[in-house]
């Protein structure tokens, strides 16, 4: 189980970097979410969450060219965040 979790953490972190920092995603949100949900289930099963797990954070380093924006409607994807 730990080998699979490590693999998922590495892949998801790579994909998050491509999405948030490089602004060049290589997989669909559906593909990312499926692996994220698998990782979350594995973490809940054994209670072990790696320090670099994407389940411990929301998003990544924003691209410097982005301007601040307030959303007018709720972002349901934030339901996966931990408060």
Query: How many structural domains are present in the chain?
Result: 1
Q: What is the pLDDT of residues 20-37, one digit of tens each?
A: 888 899 999 999 999 999
Q: What is the pLDDT of residues 39-67, one digit of tens each?
A: 999 999 999 999 999 999 765 566 677 67
| Residue 46, domain CATH | 1.10.287.610
Domain range enclosing 58: 2-80
- What residues have CB less than 8 Å from 9, skipping those under 6 apart? 39, 50, 52, 53, 54
pTM, two decimals, is 0.70
């Amino acid at each position: 189980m730990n080998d699979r979790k490590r693999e998922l953490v590495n892949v998801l972190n790579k994909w998050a970097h491509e999405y948030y920092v490089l602004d060049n995603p290589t997989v669909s949100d559906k593909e990312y979410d499926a692996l994220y949900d698998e990782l979350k289930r594995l973490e809940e099963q054994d209670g072990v969450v790696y320090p670099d797990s994407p389940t411990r954070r929301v998003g990544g380093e924003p691209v410097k060219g982005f301007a601040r924006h307030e959303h007018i409607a709720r972002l349901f994807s934030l339901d996966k965040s931990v408060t």
